[in-house]
Structure 1
Amino acid sequence: MYTIVIFLTIFLGFASSQTIPAAIPLTVRSPYFNSWLPSTNGVSLNGKWPTFWNGRVLAWAGFVRVDGQTYQWFGRNNITTILNATTTSYHLTPTRSIFTVSAGPAQFNATFMDPIEPSDWVRHSLPFSYLFIDTLLTTDGNSHSIQFYSHSYALWVTGNADNVVQWDTTDTTSSIYHEASRLNKQPMAETGDFAEDSTAYYAMAKQSGLTWQTGFVDDLINQFATKGALADTKDTQFRPITNNNPTLGLAIDLGTTKELSNAVVWAIGVVRDPSIRTVASAGIESRSTYFWTRYQNISEAIDDFLLDFPNAYDRANALDTKIMIEASAVSPEYVKLVSLGLRQTMGSMEFTTGNAKNNASDIKVFMKDVGVSGRVNPVNTMYAALPALLYLNASMVPYLLGPLLDYQSTSAYTNTFAAPDLGTTYPTALGNNTNTILGAIENSASMLIMTFAHALKTGDATMADRYYNLLKQWADYLVTNTLHPSGYETDDDGLRYPDMSNLAVKGIIAISAMSKLAKALEKPNAEIDMYKNKAASLASEWEKLAVSTSGFVTSTYGDSSNWIMPYHLYSAKLIASDIISDTVFTNQQKYYETQIPQAGLYGLPYDSHNAQRVRSQWLMFTAGTIADKTTRDAFISMVHAHAFSNASDAPFPGMYNAQSGKTFSLSGPSSPVQGSMFALLALNLPNKFIELPLYKRARKGAIAGGVVGGVVLLVAIAALVLFWRRRRVREKAVRKKEDIMPYVGVGPSAPGGHESLQNYIGNTSFDNGEVRPFTDLPHPDVNPNAKGTIPPPPMSASTDLQTTLQGSSSKSPSRTAASGTPQPFSPSRSFLLTNSESWIGMHSRRGSTSSLNASSVAPGSSSAGQQELFVEVQQLRREMEELRARQGADEPPPMYRHLDTE
């Protein structure tokens, strides 16, 4: 486990200023659990406080005592007898920030790790992080007396340090943890971006040498410096944070040693319950974080989090390795950008379940527009973050889009275009029904593109089918308004000009996406062709209007004195749309080659109307549209130049000055838009064949079976009528003979007859004459009470999971206590196989289709009608089997087996 860390210590050395971001992520797990190390003046864990994304200090600290001398390796203090340790190197991965520290004769690595769990949403939603010490070495090779100590203030739980806080310490069967919160919480309220209803936790697993204490910060530090241990005592005087800084401390005595046998691990977290207040079909509901579906209380969650550390480390290392190896195929700078951008993207979201906490299939995801507006599920931000979500696990996307789609499907929403968000102030998500026509084209196009991108990367059309009418409404709006957008604005600082080229092409690409959705869902050909032809004609017109005689795309039609970075062309690449000709991409690349030498130090502006403003997300989208490696890498270098500079002190912001690098108001520090750093990796994801949702295919099979069954029934009736008529003829002949011959009797036929027609129709049941599909999956046409619940979709192939077909007797989704990953809804047998970890089980539940044979005809019968019926039914049966094979009616019903991630 520790070999990699030792190697990093030896290999990396001290990081140069060119590879140091303005702020290094420490813990970025939720909108309210977010901490960074300012590093504009170099990397040093000590001598400065970690801060929240907005710059507010978080008094979190760490100390080590070696042979009686105490050193501070993290944070600050005012005690003169404490010496400063030295940070000698650091290394950044997508899930970890690793620092090598020297304290006297001791050297060790201090690692801050945010577990990103794309295939286990219970673990991913648990808002805790690890701080751990490993790879302890002594420079002289001798053993030394060594103790470690760390503490945290209660600053996580309120934006006003004058508020009174309370705290406590709990001793469980396997851990010791502190907790702190406001004495009087304010539900769903923020002060200075901090939640006023949260509880902070600091914990360690029980072990020999563990001590704890709560109280005035200086008392705890002096206690540790003097004794090498804490006093195991509680301070019970609840007070404001500004009054003698109430502090939560945990220490461990390693004894006399020269190396570690096990890592020293602290767990830190910030929990809110409930976490979101949102609109639902039954009214307003409060929702809890998804991890509660597995744990009965917070003690269980903390114990499990600490016990799982070795496995969590291995999973984090595997994910880091995968991402960094794939990114290294692009460039070394690109590796650093994806490593820096992932945590703030994932840390902006909260995975939730119903307040009852007992329904693991009830999943909704909410994103905060961190660093910008604070809105809930901001469409423009989600659009920029989409590449990271698709790459990690595209199955997250419908749960993020779902709350928006569900709300806008109700009568409460009256606009004919898509809303920009689900509410203006996180964590209250009550919908946005205001007249937001200025962003109508941007938002409608974003929603269509994101919906189709999810379907394309997963092969699952469930969400698109459920909300098809709403998506169609938005597509129709774009058909009418996108080519000549007038009275609309872009997401970029509200630019508003008539005939903006980049805005128009985004709408055209969205119409193309709609045509592909309609085709995948087997809508009428006229409807498919209408969107396809309209997109093609609009694209052709757009190229004539938007492309200058010199070949570059102008900012507005016909004005070659201005230009635009048409970053929305990236979406055409992402959804495999050829609606925009290759010539546009080629000529635009040539134009970039002429502009790069003239660019500011930190990049090209996205629009010549705003020539001093750069947005990192659009630079990276643009890089994804460029075929030439040199030109593409120049755009990557532009983003890297600012991200790894001291031009600003903001945590990886999305917008800044092209020349100075200084940020603007609402520049987006710690913004989820940096999921755009995965734009190039997302383009490498395989496109799936999009299947109809299973309930639609099952219904089609049932209908096909019903039609064939009806034909069989009609033929059988006709044959029986023919048999009856011929039998009447024979009976008349017999009666004539009986008039001549004495009665000798005719014995009755032996029991025989024909197999039930149900066996020929297949796996279809009949109820009062109605043909029903195999299973009642939650879909409006099948279950009218299921509105707003998206069946759990399949995990994305990008998570490197494999689909297998194997036996199961279950008909419905199930969940085990071992994992909280939503049960995958299997849309098709054609789901791609990617590696050895299997997680979907399917099993065929076929009805009996025993064929008739000679014994099924009454023995001794010479009826020509029965023989003809037998032949006819056999022929129809063969034709029916062929029809079923062609139509997929023989697909088995969905079966589920849980993905065991334990």
Structure 2
Amino acid sequence: MKLQKIVAAGQSLLGIVNSATTFKPSRAPAIPLAVKSPYMNTWLEVGSRGNGELAGNWPAPQPGDVAGTTGAVTGWAGLIKVDGTVYTWMGAPAVDGNFPQNVVQNSVEYTSQSSIFTSTAGKVNLKVTFTSPVTPTDFQRQSVIGTYLKVEVSSNDGATHNVQVYADTSAEWVSIHNTDVAEWSFSDLNGVLSHASWRQVQSEFNADYPDDAAHWGKWYWSTGSDSSVTYQSGGHQTVRRNFIQNGKLPSTQDNKFRAIDDDYPVFGFAQDLGSVDRPVNILYTIVHAQSNAVTFLGAQGQVSVPSLWTSYFNSDAALVEFFYKDIGSISNAIDDKIQSDSIKAGGQNYATITTLSTRQALGAVQLAGTPTKPYLFLKEISSNGNSQTVDVLFPAIPIYLYLNPTLVKLVLDPLYENQESGHWPHTYAIHDLGTNYPRVVGHPDGNAEEMPVEECGNMIIATLAYYQKTQDTSYLQAHYNIMKQWTGYLIQDSLIPAHQLSTDDFQGPLENQTNLAIKGIIAIGAMGKIAETVGQQDDARNFTAIAKDYVGKWVDLAMTMDGGLPHTNLAYQDPKSHGIFSLLFVSLPTSRGVLFDWCNADMIWYPGLLYNIYADKLLNLNIVPAPIFQQQSDFYPTVAQKYGVPLDTRNMVTKSDWEIWTAAVANGPTKDFIIGKIATWLAETPTNRAFTDLYDTTNGDFPGNKFIARPVVGGHFALLAL
């Protein structure tokens, strides 16, 4: 085992718990550092280690691969020399078997777009801020896959101190496979110094093998050019030793390109700040540049779709320079808005959840195409590598509706284009546009995971939600025919759904699902609104009448008094018979894996979360009878566990996105109750990965090593989308 890996494996021993660290607004299971795209998704893992210290722990990609099992790190190290004494402020770098002492961390704070660490290194204070900008209405800036790292150094005793600061990235950013060969270069252009690194054998669109890391494009690690800055590329011990011994680097390049784990090449900068008595700032940036974003099967056949940033910048160098010098455009306005709006909608507990969710939700998508024909491509992340998964983008749409409804259109467009171009042979809506992102090539053979009611309902509901926020009637007209086709399918199969999967496919398929049925019925009602909007009055009357008829029958089929309070069941039951259907599930495979093998018969099952009725409120349809909302609100607290309300009685797991959807349409006390449970889970969960949406409500853990860093946390904005 190479030294870098020894360090990574032993870092939890080195990061001594600092009980003085305070967390604001909460001790999250992981803190976002550079989170801007499916491939720039680096976090500081916190939960199971318990300390949340930037010094002594390696940042890690979320996840390292589809299974999340490689143990990959994104080598990112920081050192500071104060009056001759060296401290570590980021990562766990070792030189000659010795680890510089860690700074004393005082606090960790996260906002929607920034994570801020404050610490003490002897007689100076450090404030380290990671900012992945959130600019949802400015597509030029949002298209840049980049993160700012700002280091502020100040004296803490009123005296002057001699200070040098060092920071590097390693070739581990290039690939999660450490036997891959890396190359690198250095440039000094227009006042910006940059180390570029890349995989020697570029594999565009991950053609060689699929995983959750990019095998093409270049990474740029940059800082400002002035006389105080020195640089070096080379083996990790060599470069870091030079700084520790000399407080500077020799400004040389190592030209021996090699495997990542061959002496772990790093790319360092050192700044000599001289005598420091007042705050001094250093700015770094990291940028990921891929000329092409995805390969897409659409109206023009299978084509390469460029990253949207290529429409604004004619080279990687121009992109990097713009981003570095654009720091002045970054403000706290979006942080303040999300914080303020969230508190008004659901209190501080709710703001704790939404602020942690923002970068994660937007970090699973990438803008591509051109300004006249942009797309928003989505990677499911961790539960599998699917592209444009409909039942993943659907729970995420509240954040798009809140930040910029046009994003809903851009994420739906590839799905419409693929299916309307004849690349999907079925009459129901497709589940996803490809097994392995970024190959957004659909399933022309028709062999995809089947969730017919789920995905038809999702597409229609999301489309009407987009229209209601934008009044873009042309979008409804353009896709009317295929939505009418899907509605026909829902009329056949949504009132009494056949044995099939819903979005909660990890629970296995089931027939007559109450929650799935109401989604289909709401979608039929939504199609009535769509038809009315585009002047199809006969269709409007027909679809509206069917929806109203179906919902009345649904109430009779779905409601029970089991347990003393009226509520809906997981699946329809006949109260005159022996309860509910006898079902046997043994190792039922889905694209997201088999998490539970179980057998249950002759029992009454309830859906803990009737989350699909949220769409009725979102679209203002008023199809679902008002008493249903109140009855469910009264029922949820009676079945809640320590960390939340289970999805249903098949097991004790829940999903935080659906919990928030449920809370958004619950009465005030139940809304606060559910939100409070999730906030408690965030502060106490033993998990140390990015915000998992699936977890056990009894112990706060999550099953398997999946459901990490997924975009569905955009659903946490459900209150704000209303």
Superposed pair shares fold, TM > 0.5: yes
1:20-59 aligned within 5 A: 20-40=27-47, 41-54=50-63, 55-59=71-75
Q: Residue 53 of structure 1: CA displacement? A: 0.7
Asked if 1:121 corresponds to 2:139, the answer is yes
Confirm or deny: 8 A CA contact 1:602 1:614 kept in the other structure: no
Q: Which amino acid aligns with 1:470?
A: I
Deviation readout 1:788-811 (Å, 9 max, x if unpaired):
xxxxxxxxxxxxxxxxxxxxxxxx
Corresponding residue of 1:164: 181
> 3-state DSSP class of the match of 1:276?
strand
Task: Determine which of 568, 572, 593 is the counterpart of 2:616.
Answer: 572
1:526 to 525, 534, 538: 538
Q: Verify the 8 A CA contact 2:402 2:720 in the aligned structure 1.
A: yes
Residue matched to 2:340: 325
Aligned-partner SS, 2:295: strand
Give me the whole-angstrom Cα distance separating, in 1, the residues matched to 2:157 and 2:455: 62
2:701 matched residue in structure 1: 662
Contact 2:423 2:443 in 1 (8 A): no
**Deviation, structure 1 residue 192:** 4.2
Deviant stretches of 4+, over 4 Å: none
> Is 1:249 aligned with 2:265?
no
Question: d(CA) in 1 for partners of 2:214 and 2:141?
Answer: 22
Matched with 1:604 is 645
Q: How does 1:529-548 map to 2 (within 5 A)?
A: 529-548=541-560
SS class of match (1:664): coil
Q: Does 1:99 align with 2:117?
A: yes
Whose RCO is larger (CA < 8 A, sep 6+)?
2
Residue 209 in structure 1 maps to residue 222 in structure 2: no
Once the two structures are superposed, the pairs formed by residues 174-323 of structure 1 within 5 Å of their partners are 174-189=191-206, 190=209, 192-261=211-280, 263-312=281-330, 314=331, 317-323=332-338
CA contact (8 A) 1:654 1:667 kept: no
Matched, 1:471 2:510: no
Query: Distance between the aligned counterparts of 2:566 and 2:448, measured in 1?
Result: 34
SS in 2 for 1:188: helix
Say if 2:605 is the partner of 1:562: yes
Cα distance in structure 1, aligned partners of 2:623 and 2:449: 26
Show the counterpart of 1:341.
357
Deviations 1:236-258 (A, max 9, x none): 01111111111111121222121
Number of aligned positions between the proteins: 656
Give the Cα–Cα distance (whole angstroms) in 1 for the partners of residues 440 and 462 of structure 2: 20
Structure 1 residue 640 corresponds to structure 2 residue 656: no
8 Å contact kept, 1:110–1:131? yes
- Measure how far apart 1:411 and its partner are: 2.3
C-alpha distance in structure 2 between counterparts of 1:331 and 1:397, whole Å: 26
Aligned to 1:88: 106
Q: Aligned to 2:442, what secondary structure does the other structure show?
A: coil
SS of 1:652 mapped into structure 2: coil
Which of 677, 684, 694 is the aligned partner of 2:716?
677
1:496 aligns with 2:515: no
Matches within 5 A, 1:64-83: 64-79=80-95, 80=98, 82-83=100-101
Q: 1:17 to 1:682 in 2, by over 3 A?
A: closer
Alignment of structure 1 residues 312-391 onto 2, 5 Å: 312=330, 314=331, 317-329=332-344, 330-353=346-369, 359-391=370-402
Distance in 1, Cα, partners of 2:424 & 2:605: 38
Q: 1:587-736, aligned counterparts within 5 Å?
A: 587-595=631-639, 599-608=640-649, 610-627=650-667, 629-665=668-704, 667-683=706-722
Structure 2 residue 570 is the aligned partner of structure 1 residue 552: no
1:583 aligns with 627
Equivalent residues of 1:205, 1:307 under 8 A apart: no
CA contact (8 A) 1:159 1:196 kept: no
TM-score under structure 2 length normalisation: 0.88
Task: Report if aligned partners of 1:377, 1:404 keep a CA contact under 8 Å in 2.
Answer: yes
- Does structure 1 retain, via aligned residues, the 8 Å contact 2:92–2:99? no
SS in 2 for 1:176: strand
How far off is 1:649 after superposition?
1.9
Provide the identity percentage: 29
| Contact 2:25–2:352, Cα closer than 8 Å, also in 1 | no
1:817 aligned partner: none
1:144 paired with 2:145, answer no
* Deviation of the 1:17 alpha carbon: 10
User: The residue matched to 1:586 in structure 2 has which SS?
Assistant: helix
Deviations 1:655-710 (A, max 9, x none): 12221222223631101011111111111xxxxxxxxxxxxxxxxxxxxxxxxxxx
Comparing 431-440 with 506-515, which one deviates more in the overlay? 431-440
Does the CA-based 8 Å contact 1:73-1:85 persist in structure 2? yes
Output the amino acid matched with 2:462. Answer: M
C-alpha separation in 2, matches of 1:311 and 1:234: 33
The C-alpha deviation readout for 1:49-77, integer Å capped at 9, x for no partner, is 11111252121111111112211100012
**Structure-2 separation of matches of 1:33 and 1:191:** 16
Partners of 2:427 and 2:486 within 8 A in 1: yes
Q: Is the 8 A contact 2:295 2:304 kept in 1?
A: yes
1: distance between equivalents of 2:151 and 2:422? 55
Distance, in Å, in 2 between the alignment partners of 1:576 and 1:157 is 47
Cα distance in 2 between the residues matched to 1:536 and 1:476:
16
Question: Counterpart amino acid of 1:350?
Answer: Q
Q: Output aligned runs, 1:860-879, within 5 Å.
A: none
Deviation at 1:332, TM superposition (A): 1.2
Question: SS where residue 308 of structure 1 aligns?
Answer: helix
d(CA) in 2 for partners of 1:83, 1:244: 23
**Structure 1 residues 856-891: Cα deviation after superposition (integer angstroms, max 9, x where no partner):** xxxxxxxxxxxxxxxxxxxxxxxxxxxxxxxxxxxx
Residue 323 of structure 1: SS of its match in structure 2? helix
Equivalent-residue separation in structure 2 for 1:232 and 1:497 (angstroms): 64
Aligned partners of 2:99 and 2:46: how far apart in 1? Answer: 25
Distance 1:410 1:630, change over 3 A: same
Distance apart, 1:555 and its partner CA: 1.0
List aligned pairs for 1:387-402, cutoff 5 A.
Answer: 387-402=398-413
- Displacement of 1:642 in angstroms is 2.2
Question: In structure 1, how many angstroms separate the alpha carbons of the residues matched to 2:651 and 2:679?
Answer: 19
Unaligned runs of 5+ in 1: 1-11, 354-358, 684-902
Q: What SS is found at the alignment partner of 2:335?
A: helix
1:87 and 1:437 map into 2 onto residues whose CA distance is 47
Q: Which has the larger displacement, 550-559 or 214-223?
A: 550-559
Contact 1:138 1:259 in 2 (8 A): yes
Superposed counterparts of 1:451-470, under 5 Å:
451-470=463-482
Does the 8 A contact of 1:160 with 1:191 survive in 2?
no
Instruction: Using the TM superposition, give the Cα deviation of residue 435 of structure 1 relative to its aligned residue in structure 2, in angstroms.
Output: 4.7
Larger radius of gyration: 1
Please state whether the residue corresponding to 2:489 is helix, strand or coil: helix
Alignment of 1:760-779 (within 5 A): none
C-alpha deviation, 1:94, in angstroms? 0.6
Matched to 2:349, the amino acid is E
| TM-fit CA distance, 1:308 | 0.8
Give secondary structure in 1 for the equivalent of 2:451.
Answer: helix
**How far has the Cα of 1:212 moved from its partner?**
1.1
Equivalent in the alignment of 1:754: none
Query: 2:164 aligned with 1:130, yes or no?
Result: no
The CA deviation string for residues 696-729 of structure 1, in whole angstroms up to 9 with x for no partner, is: xxxxxxxxxxxxxxxxxxxxxxxxxxxxxxxxxx
Question: What SS class does the counterpart of residue 222 from structure 1 fall into?
Answer: helix
Match for 2:616: what amino acid? A
